[in-house]
């Protein structure tokens, strides 16, 4: 896939939802599965085996785990006479589904030299062959459940496509050679001035509206009461965040939550992840290697604690997820997303409400918790989202590594407040004084 020639080309969305057209789920399956292998193509076998921290998984693990998902939740229960590629793979590639068996510890995935990358690819081929057979059975008595699980599996694989890029960026960033995942175009330009957009508030509905795929944590749709608020026209830029750094923001306790200040001290943070001061000039590690910091681009790889501290320093706050979704409901799901090929946040390019989708996930002040009336999926798939509703915060909007067709205004991402290897940034909000 060639990178974009210029910014405007990179902003055009290209994906389509996984809607069944003429009963052809197989096309969607093959397209998404092929995309994962394209993402792995620039990597050597050695690259694909590294785990640089407990939260990072080796590339080959992502490729195997997504195959295990289809094998476990579709092939084993629905394809007659299906034989597993290797019965021991279930232990290696189960992530967190306790209902289907034990699993290898997450922090030890990088200790597995076997199976090899070639064996993992053979496993993918085995699963793909039998999924082709299963999806070709148009009159299967379980076809409704097969289609539902297939769609869930495709979105699950797209989540891992984003994780694959997040994880390999961290793997390369800790390597003194600063390897390049792929050559990326160098973008320049000036971000427009931050403007403030008014939203009247009132009673509004948020959550999945039932018109397409959604995860269980996006449901049920329900009413919320919003006070009048303002939202910044674009995310905070590297240049604006640099002003916080240079003003001593990481040394001033008054901006930080207590847990955030403890985290900063314990981990000795002084700037966003991947920023490096080299010969008096700030650089950042990208998937295209180490580059001079683009001050006009949205700041990325900051934790919830850092986003909240910056907002306090700036005299503002983080939006709630309801405010964010209310603002985004009538916006097209389009922007600098994975299919743009840039794989790096880009400067905003105009007035008005910019970059709600793509570039960086935007932290909200909302804890990740259940909506009123939430019910997880039945059975083992109920472990997908609901059991993580503790101690995390919601992010909205997608990033430059998120597949286009994976997003919608109601999508709820979530991470722990200290996490920052994801492409996470910040959009400011403020109250409207009456």
Question: pLDDT tens, 169-182?
Answer: 999 999 999 999 99
Per-residue pLDDT band for 2 (boundaries 50, 70, 90) equals very low
Tens-digit pLDDT profile for residues 308-338: 999 999 999 999 999 999 999 989 999 999 9
**Percent of the chain scoring above 90 in pLDDT:** 86
**How would you class 251 by CB atoms within 10 Å of its CB: exposed for 0-12, middle for 13-18, buried for 19 or more?**
exposed
According to DSSP, residue 87 is labeled: T
Of 293, 299, 189, the closest CA to residue 241 belongs to 299
First to last CA, the chain: 51
The residue length of the chain stands at 434
Any idea where the domains of the chain sit in the sequence? Answer: 7-173, 196-431
Q: How far apart are CA 190 and CA 379, in angstroms?
A: 51
Q: How far apart are CA 393 and CA 304, in angstroms?
A: 8
Left, alpha or beta for 127 (phi > 0: left; psi -120 to 50: alpha)? Answer: alpha
Report residue 152: phi and psi, to 5°.
-60, -45
Of 180, 181, 228, the closest CA to residue 203 belongs to 228
- Report angle CA 338, 216, 401 to the nearest 5 degrees: 10
Of 14, 44, 18, the closest CA to residue 30 belongs to 18
State how far Cα 393 lies from the chain centre.
Answer: 13
State how far Cα 344 lies from the chain centre.
Answer: 13
Tens-digit pLDDT profile for residues 216-242: 999 999 999 999 999 999 999 999 999
Q: How far apart are CA 393 and CA 354, in angstroms?
A: 23
SS3 label, residue 255 = helix
CATH class of residue range 196-431: alpha beta
What secondary structure does DSSP assign to 2-46, as a single string?
Answer: PPPSSHHHHT---------STT-HHHHHHHHHHHHHHHHTTS-TT
SS3 label, residue 140 = coil
Cα distances from 130 to residues 78, 100, 125, in angstroms, run 11, 21, 9
pTM: 0.93
Question: Between 2 and 367, whose confidence is greater?
Answer: 367
Beta carbons of 18 and 405 less than 8 angstroms apart: yes
Tens-digit pLDDT profile for residues 49-107: 999 999 999 999 999 999 999 999 999 999 999 999 999 999 999 999 989 999 999 99
Beta carbons of 360 and 300 less than 8 angstroms apart: yes
What secondary structure does DSSP assign to 370-409, as a single string?
Answer: PPTT--PPSGGGGGTTGGG-SS-EEEES--TTS-GGG--T
Strand ranges across the sheet with 229-232: 196-199, 229-232, 429-431
What secondary structure does DSSP assign to 346-368, as a single string?
Answer: ----SSSS--SSSSSEEEEEEE-
Cα distances from 89 to residues 65, 98, 102, 156, in angstroms, run 9, 15, 11, 19
- Report angle CA 70, 75, 79 to the nearest 5 degrees: 155
H or E stretch at 144: helix 143-173
Q: Is there a cis peptide before residue 115, judged by omega within 30 degrees of 0?
A: yes
- Report angle CA 234, 235, 238 to the nearest 5 degrees: 125
Tens-digit pLDDT profile for residues 106-139: 999 999 999 999 999 999 999 999 999 999 998 9
pLDDT of 434 reads 66
* Two structure tokens written together for 171: 């793997």
Whether CATH 1.10.3470 fits 7-173 = no
H or E stretch at 91: helix 89-93
């Amino acid at each position: 896939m060639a990178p974009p020639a210029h910014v405007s080309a990179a902003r055009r969305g290209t994906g389509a939802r996984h809607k069944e057209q003429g009963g052809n789920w197989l096309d969607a399956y093959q397209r998404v599965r092929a995309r994962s292998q394209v993402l792995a193509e620039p990597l050597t076998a050695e690259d694909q085996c590294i785990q640089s921290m407990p939260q990072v998984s080796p590339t080959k693990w992502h490729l195997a785990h997504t195959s295990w998902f289809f094998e476990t939740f579709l092939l084993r229960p629905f394809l007659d006479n299906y034989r597993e590629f290797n019965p021991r793979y279930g232990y290696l590639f189960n992530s967190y589904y306790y209902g289907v068996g034990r699993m290898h510890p997450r922090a030890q995935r990088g200790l597995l030299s076997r199976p090899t990358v070639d064996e993992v690819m053979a496993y993918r081929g085995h699963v793909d062959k039998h999924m082709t057979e299963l999806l070709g059975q148009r009159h299967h008595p379980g076809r409704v459940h097969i289609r539902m699980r297939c769609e869930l599996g495709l979105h699950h694989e797209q989540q891992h496509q984003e994780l694959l890029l997040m994880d390999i960026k961290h793997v390369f960033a800790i390597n003194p050679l600063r390897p390049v995942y792929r050559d990326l175009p160098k973008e320049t330009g000036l971000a427009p001035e931050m403007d403030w957009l008014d939203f009247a508030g009132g009673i509004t509905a948020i959550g999945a509206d039932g018109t397409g795929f959604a995860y269980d944590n996006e449901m049920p749709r329900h009413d919320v009461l919003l006070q009048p608020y303002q939202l910044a026209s674009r995310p905070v830029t590297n240049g604006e965040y640099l002003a916080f750094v240079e003003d001593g923001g990481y040394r001033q306790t008054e901006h930080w939550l207590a847990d955030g200040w403890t985290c900063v001290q314990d981990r000795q943070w002084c700037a966003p992840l991947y920023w490096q001061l080299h010969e008096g000039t700030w650089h950042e590690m990208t998937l295209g290697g180490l580059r001079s910091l683009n001050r006009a681009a949205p700041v990325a790889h900051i934790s919830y604690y850092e986003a909240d501290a910056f907002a306090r320093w700036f005299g503002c706050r983080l939006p709630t997820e309801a405010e964010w979704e209310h603002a985004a409901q009538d916006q097209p799901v389009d922007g600098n997303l994975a299919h743009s090929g840039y794989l790096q946040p880009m400067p905003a390019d105009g007035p008005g409400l910019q970059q709600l989708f793509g570039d960086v996930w935007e932290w909200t002040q909302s804890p990740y918790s259940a909506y009123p009336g939430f019910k997880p999926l039945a059975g083992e798939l109920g472990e997908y989202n609901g059991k993580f509703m503790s101690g995390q915060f919601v992010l909205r909007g997608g990033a430059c590594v998120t597949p286009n067709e994976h997003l919608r205004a109601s999508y709820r991402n979530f991470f722990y407040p200290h996490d920052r290897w994801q492409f996470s940034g910040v959009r400011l909000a403020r109250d409207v004084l009456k």
